[in-house]
Structure 1
Amino acid sequence: MSRHTVVINDEEQYSVWPSALPVPAGWRPVAEHDSREEALAHVETVWTDLRPASAR
């Protein structure tokens, strides 16, 4: 298993990124997990409104 990082952008949209890679510009890390599945479960828990922040 490879570690994955949950990242968020300024529009409060989440993504899962491999921890071995640098976080892309415009995104910041919020949590790190031992597996992609754990990271996706984290995203499902915290990202309850899928609309971008500017559309809310």
Structure 2
Amino acid sequence: MFEDDDRSYAVVRNDEEQYSLWPVDRDLPPGWTAVGVTGTKAECLDHIRVVWTDLRPLSLRDRRTA
């Protein structure tokens, strides 16, 4: 399913601020929210590379700053 580079995808994020991509023609899995960016697989992955600069889950980042 995710090997299809010509399919349209959406960038999604979970409550831990972890990103992924998901086919736009499928229902989102529980716990994930679309962030408003759609496009080809490459376009979505490029966006994720720009915005997801700290790969640690939010709960871990919060513990280190508290």
Question: TM-score band (shorter)?
Answer: over 0.9
CA RMSD, aligned part only?
0.9
2:16 corresponds to which letter in structure 1?
A: E
* Unaligned stretches of 5+ residues in structure 1: none
Per the normalisation by structure 1, the TM-score is 0.92
1:6–1:14 CA contact under 8 A, matched in 2: yes
Map Cα deviations across residues 2-45 of structure 1 (whole Å, 9 max, x no partner): 11000000000000111111111000000332200000000000
From 1, 7, 14, the counterpart of 1:2 = 7
Query: Equivalent residue for 2:19?
Result: 14
* Unaligned stretches of 5+ residues in structure 2: 1-5, 62-66
**TM superposition outliers: structure 1 runs of 4+ over 4 Å:** none
Distance 1:6 1:31 in 2: 7
- Structure number with higher relative contact order (C-alpha < 8 Å, ≥ 6 residues apart): 1
**Percent identity between the aligned chains?**
48
Query: Equivalent residue for 1:32?
Result: 37
2:34 corresponds to which letter in structure 1?
A: P
Distance 1:33 1:25 in 2: 19
